[in-house]
Structure 1
Amino acid sequence: MLEIDGSYGEGGGQILRYSLALAGLTRTPFRIFNIRKGRKKPGLMPQHLASVRAVKEITRGEVAGDEHGSLELVFRPGPVQAGEYSFDVAEERGSAGSVALVLQAVLPILASIPEKSRVIIKGGTHVPFAPIYDYLDSVLFPFLIQLGLDLRCQIKSYGFYPKGGGEIEVLIRGGRTRPVELIERGGRVRLKATSVVANLPESIALRQLNPLRERLSPLETEVKVVRSKGPGTYIFLKAEYERTIAGFSALGRKGKPAEVVGKECLDQFLNFEKQSGIDHHLSDQILIYLINSDGKSIFKTSQVTNHLKTGIWIINRFLPDRVRIKGSVVEVMGRY
């Protein structure tokens, strides 16, 4: 049985999610220990338990140690089963845990088989320290579709921290992916900023746009007023280039001026424009799909983050020497 030290690198939930997904892909059982050991609240939290139980269900697997606060888990996957699934992070003690992070464990597995699946995940759609729904819809999914996957996603309801209550639906038909070569992103062709408020005045969304309007031109803008279980605001900037897409976002909170939210998003984009390569958030999320391709992929990342290093490490634990990095260029060998 493969032994995984959950305190490696950043020691966060990413190691667990990648391990679950890779176990489902490769039918490899594993034991993970020191789960989130360095965190303020170590061990398994609600969104991690939701990921464990989701992968257990879609692989008909066996699990031990799936308890709140557990520092150790043993997982034995079975065969992947396409189908209709529904997972609720809030079932684990009530939580606004991220739906996107649960999807990180589930989607690579279901996307590896040609049969259709439908997945509903309930929880936080726009919460700190996780990709927001807009990033999935506007950046990650378009990239995966270019690889050859048949994916659709839809937001049914918005969920902000701490109330949660959001819901997304994902339709999946997978299979082998195409390899990619993406060293240069090409020229910028479009910028669009979307500013959203839930249960708050529309004026907040308009003010969030001001810093971007002052610095970026041409810029398309959209303001949305949505309903949610609790109040929330965010802004999302989608940057389209000739060969790739990047996304930048910032969340509002009580006491944080709307203009600060907008400037936070703007600064992320301006920093990205000074660099070459693809969106660094995208870099670590696509690794696990590229190992299922029909050849070697190569891409340049705009930043070599700890998340990327950890993703490479955990893939190579399950599939030795499958991913390599030299400088900011990543090579991924397909067909596990």
Structure 2
Amino acid sequence: MIEIDGQAGGGQLLRTALSLSLCTGIGFTMENIRARRSRPGLMRQHLTAVRAAAEVGHARAGAAALGATRLRFEPGTVRAGDYRFNTGSAGSTTLVLQTVLPALWHAQTASRLSLEGGTHNPMAPSADFLADSYLPALLPMGIEASVTLQQHGFYPAGGGILHAHVQPATFKPASLLERGELVTMEAWAILSGLASQIGARELGVLGEELGLAEDALHLRSIKPPVGPGNALLVKVHHRKHAATFAAYGERGVSAEHVARKLARDVRAYLASPAYACDHLADQLLLPMALAGGGQFTTHTISDHLQSNARLIEKFLPVEILWEREADRVWRVVVE
């Protein structure tokens, strides 16, 4: 039984611990869950992730309740199957999915999942990121899964539906060091229950700041609307990798501000030849550790990457190192 202090991280530490516990059969207790957040303890999406992990892994999750700041998790046997999970809100379906994916990679047969809640949330990977960036990056590691977006779900209404199909993995180390030359870059403004002018203004800024032609700017309105929502996406396709960036409209924040912030994130990535953006980088650690090794390049070493690395080392016999190779290029090695 591993003891973990959760106050130094957010929900990511909990999700990583759940994934690793199911994969290794090692239980854990976590204290001070999300202690430094404005609303400490388990929120609905975290509780859904705990319950999903318990169902997939026939585990015992003592004291799992909304607001709980302590959790004891004892894993059982992971089984493939058809699963359905509902956050009951706009809580992120993608974070719940990422929690159980590693366990299902170890199952004997394929699994299907249906998840309901938020699909495009601030502070969580979008469904587009999973489909276009995260899962394709895992293919060289022998990991195969797919996601299909049936219905968008925005904060605070939720109502999104995401389907996933997961195959048993044949783990192998991979080197993801170069993304190759730029092929295409496109932007999407997705609106639900909001005026199309908002998306047009966002796309206008992205076109100007990223040098995108008119045919690379796409405006989509969700019909019928699923509550008010606005997601702004930029997809950057290089020969060996596709990166997906997202920003979200907020009440009281101008469309131009949302677009400029997203453009800054994209330019920061393009300014480096590294393979992974900062969001993908920390998410590559766990599958590489399960594969027994691997390496990739990224343009920055985030706090999330560092905390994730140290937690993975508690469960698995690996060491995760990183060193600067050039300006805006870091090599991360799992060995």
Indicate if the aligned counterparts of 1:192 and 1:237 stay in contact, CA closer than 8 A.
Answer: yes
Q: Is the 8 A contact 1:180 1:298 kept in 2?
A: yes
Write out per-residue CA displacement over residues 24-45 of structure 1, whole angstroms, 9 at most, x where no aligned residue.
Answer: 1101111111111111111111
Residue equivalent to 2:164: 170
RMSD of aligned Cα (Å): 1.6
**Matched ranges for 1:104-183 at <5 A:** 104-183=98-177
Alignment correspondent of 1:3: 3
Looking at structure 1, the residues matched to 109 and 10 of structure 2 have their Cα atoms a distance apart, in angstroms, of 32
Q: How does 1:214-293 map to 2 (within 5 A)?
A: 214-217=208-211, 219=213, 220-226=216-222, 227-277=224-274, 278-293=276-291
Match of 1:32 in 2: 30
Shift, 1:175, TM fit:
1.3
- The answer to whether the 8 A contact 1:158-1:228 is kept is no
Stretch deviating more after TM superposition (96-105 or 19-28):
96-105
Q: Please give the secondary structure, in 2, of the residue aligned with 1:31.
A: strand
Other structure's SS at 2:281 match: helix
TM-aligned CA distance change 1:330 to 1:316, over 3 Å:
same
| Alpha-carbon distance, 1:238 to partner | 0.8
What stretches of structure 2 of length at least 5 have no aligned partner? Answer: 325-329
- Measure, in 2, the Cα distance between the counterparts of 1:176 and 1:126: 30
Displacement of 1:191 after TM fit?
A: 0.5
Q: Distance in 2 between matches of 1:202 and 1:111?
A: 41
Alpha-carbon distance in 2 for matches of 1:168, 1:69? 26
Aligned counterparts of 2:109 and 2:194: Cα–Cα separation in 1: 42
Q: Distance in 1 between matches of 2:321 and 2:256?
A: 41
Q: Using the alignment, how far apart are the partners of 1:230 and 1:119 within structure 2? A: 24
Q: Which letter does structure 1 place at the counterpart of 2:69?
A: L
Find the counterpart in structure 2 of residue 89 from structure 1. Answer: 87
Shift of 1:199: 1.4
Shift of 1:267: 1.2
**What's the secondary structure of 1:200's corresponding residue?**
coil
State how far apart, in whole Å, the 1-side matches of 2:314 and 2:225 are: 41
Q: CA deviation at 1:218?
A: 5.2
Q: Please state how far the C-alpha of 1:125 moved relative to its aligned partner.
A: 1.0
Report SS of the residue matched to 1:7.
helix
What is the deviation of 1:114? 4.4
User: Is 1:322 the counterpart of 2:319 in the alignment?
Assistant: yes
CA distance in 1, matches of 2:82, 2:210: 43
Quote the offset at 1:182 in angstroms.
2.3
The answer (yes or no) to whether the contact 2:2–2:26 under 8 Å persists in 1 is yes
C-alpha displacement of 1:202: 2.1
Structure 2 equivalent of residue 98 of structure 1 = 92
**2:90/2:156 contact within 8 Å kept:** yes
- Which is further off, 50-59 or 106-115? 106-115
Q: Deviations over 1:120-161 (max 9, x none)?
A: 111111111111111111111221234332322111211111
Instruction: Please state if 1:205 is matched with 2:202.
Output: no
**Distance of 1:264 and 1:194 partners within structure 2:** 15
Aligned to 2:73: 75
> Distance between the aligned counterparts of 1:176 and 1:4, measured in 2?
30
Task: Give the letter aligned to residue 279 of structure 2.
Answer: H
Quote how far apart the aligned CAs of 1:2 are: 0.9
Stretch of structure 1 that moved more, 309-318 or 196-205 = 196-205
User: What's the secondary structure of 1:291's corresponding residue?
Assistant: helix
1:300 aligned residue (297, 301, 307): 297
Match of 2:327 in 1: none
Aligned to 1:154, what secondary structure does the other structure show?
strand
Match of 1:37, as an amino acid? A
**Normalising by the residue count of structure 2, what TM-score does the alignment of the two structures yield?**
0.93
CA distance in 1 between partners of 2:14 and 2:188 (Å): 32
Q: Given the alignment, which residue of 54, 57, 69 partners 2:55?
A: 57
How far apart, in 2, do the equivalents of 1:171 and 1:4 lie? 31
Contact 1:121–1:169 at 8 Å: present in 2 too? yes
